[in-house]
Chains A and B, each alone.
Chain A
Amino acid sequence: MATPSKDAYDAVIIGAGISGLVCGCYLAKAGLKVLIAEQHHKPGGYCTSFRRGRFTFDAAAHCFGGYRKEGITRKAFTDLGIDGKVNITKSDPSDTVITPDHTVSFWSDIQQTVEGFRAVFPEERESIKKFFQFLLNPDPHSFSRMRSWTFQNLLDQYFANDRIKTLLAAPLLGLGGLPPSRMSAFIGSKLVSEFLLDGGYHPDSGMQALPDALSERFKELGGELRLSCLVTKIREKEGEVKGVMIGKGDLLPSRYVISNCDARQTFLTLLGKNKIQEELRGKLASMEPSTSMFIAYLGLDGQSRFFPRPGTNIWFLSHYDLDKAYGAAREGDVDGFGGYMLRLSQDRSTLIALVPAPYKTKRYWLANKKKALECIIKKIENNSIPQLTNCIKYKTAATPQTLRRYTLNYHGASFGWAGTPSQLAVSGFKKPSFVKNLYLTGHWTTQGLGISGVTYVGYDTAQIILRKEKGKIIYSHG
């Protein structure tokens, strides 16, 4: 029999991903009594760093966007008073896309980016400017009109040259896990505007600095953060949440429960299959999660004149067929994918490389992890950094299984649900109608848009709850 603890929380947040932390900070700042329970021993979700000997690696997220003056990440960090507490450097260029015939870069100065694209594709001179202008200042209705469009449809509207379309869409395979033919126009546009036109921000000490700073602030604001604390159930009675169970059965009573874990886990495991409607069960079963990743972590000893610019994300693709690349990635064919993203750390001590990869059994990845790692290293040697092997002091890799194990994201999905047009704006996840005061936040609510995306959702979820609270206060004071 569970014994309710004396003091009930106003809100319990399950998961200390960036979205959970941002949401928690806003709620705590407004005076709510908030607990964040995280199953891992450090906060951050996909935004963490880990050490191996003298090397520090970013685990998955390796930079962030939306940090320009009016960007959402900047807004949240400023509102919460952590702006300036973390030393953040913006790489310039943030991203460079390289194919056998072309190289284009995304610079802090948008004009420089435009000119760079124009030099490679002079015939698309006007379209390049118009396209970036549209992305930076979209009319509020434009994406509603494009709700069923793919990113390919959008690119086709602006450009005639297939090469420029490929160069613009190649990084999205890594940032959103889909080729333009399958990615929604909205998601693709947001990824370009948030990650490529305003990306490349990185805390000097590693990505862990972001969740650490948010955690510190959360505690300063009176919030309680419990690490290595697995929530096992969301308690609900007569259609209203009552709290959460941790471990083997301590009930933590709470007026609101906010889940920063994946939608399947929230509904099927934490709430329980029998508590949810048939329609939602069907939706959960039929919706497609985003692609996972295979990430290589290389600790370097010595320098090479072939090293790329530190901090810049290099997107290499040996061909121009993004559908083929995606098909190979879905099969776990690292060689057939024909590309990678690589990033040398600012201090040139580590290098990470990633490719989209499928969720497969532990056994599969045990048997193939080493092979995939060696294949990526070989490819980087052949295309970007000759004799890289001589500089490698330490190497390891994360498979989709590793990503799942640390974050409990379904199938190690990198970006929540796959960002296809048919899954865009699917309702019912952010605020399920059948359980009062249960909310979801993070990349499983509809849009998977990296750090800036989940920051937005965390902010938005907090605002929705605070608006309700404010209504209550006004009411109780007559």
Chain B
Amino acid sequence: MIENIEKDIIAIISDVSGYEPAEIKPETNFFQDLEVDSIKAIEITVAIEKKFKISVRDEDVPKIATVKQAVDLVSKLLEQKKN
């Protein structure tokens, strides 16, 4: 489950940033390592919400900065949705 989420998130980050999936590691910081700027940050957030059918709260937005953080956030939100 987590692996699938990670794969999907890496695909989104790759699509938006233009970096190959192989270059994107769990600890890669989107802003520092992948040249993600404000518009790309919006694209990532919107794409994650659409892909997983979740809605990211304002206070959680800064957590979308590395693959690992994004996976943790999505897993938590999916878990909450189930309950």
Interface size on B, residues (CB 8 A): 23
- A425 and B62 within 8 A (CB): no
Encoded as 1 (CB less than 8 Å from any A CB) or 0, chain B from 36 to 54 comes to: 1111011111110010000
CB atoms of B42 and A147 under 8 A apart? yes
Residues B18 and A186 in contact, CB atoms below 8 Å apart: no
Known A138-B38, A140-B37, A144-B61; contact A467-B20, beta-carbon cutoff 8 A: yes
Residue A266 lies at the interface, judged by CB distance under 8 Å to chain B = no
A140, A468, A471: the one within 8 Å of B31 (CB): A140
CB-CB under 8 A from A147, the residues of chain B are 42, 45-46
Whether the Cβ atoms of A431 and B58 lie closer than 8 Å is no
Cα A464 to Cα B36 in complex, Å, equals 12
Q: Does A141 make an interface contact (CB < 8 A)? A: yes
Chain B residues positioned under 8 Å from A468 (CB to CB): 18, 20
A470 nearest in chain B by CB position: B20
Are the CB atoms of A141 and B15 closer together than 8 Å?
Answer: no
- Known A-B contacts A425-B46, A427-B47; the reply to A143 vs B18 at CB < 8 A is no
The reply to whether A424 and B20 contact each other, CB–CB distance below 8 Å, is no
A96 cross-chain contacts in B, Cβ below 8 A:
none
Q: List CB contacts (< 8 Å) of B14-46 with chain A.
A: 15-16, 18-20, 31, 35-39, 41-46
Interface pair A424/B42, CB less than 8 Å apart:
yes
Write out the residue numbers on chain B whose beta carbons fall within 8 Å of the beta carbon of A431. Answer: 15, 18
Measured in the bound complex, the distance between the Cα atoms of B36 and A446 in whole Å is: 16
CB distance from A202 to the nearest CB of B (A): 26
Residue of A nearest to B55 (CB): A148
Q: A468-B20, A471-B20 are in contact. Are A433 and B42 (CB under 8 A)?
A: no
**A387: CB under 8 A from chain B?**
no
Asked if A145 and B38 sit within 8 Å, CB to CB, the answer is no
Please, which residues of chain A bring their CB within 8 A of the CB of B39?
143, 186, 425, 446-447
A142 proximity list for chain B (CB < 8 A): 38
Interface residues of A (CB under 8 A from B): 138, 140-145, 147, 186, 424-427, 431, 433, 446-447, 460, 463-464, 467-468, 471
Given A186-B39, A427-B16, 5 further pairs, Cβ under 8 A: A140-B36, A143-B42, A145-B58, A425-B42, A425-B43
16 residue pairs A–B, Cβ–Cβ below 8 Å: A138-B38, A140-B41, A143-B41, A144-B41, A144-B42, A144-B44, A144-B45, A145-B58, A145-B61, A147-B42, A147-B46, A186-B42, A424-B42, A427-B16, A431-B18, A460-B18
Interface residues, chain B, with chain A CB atoms under 8 Å away: 15-16, 18-20, 31, 35-39, 41-47, 50, 58, 61-62, 64
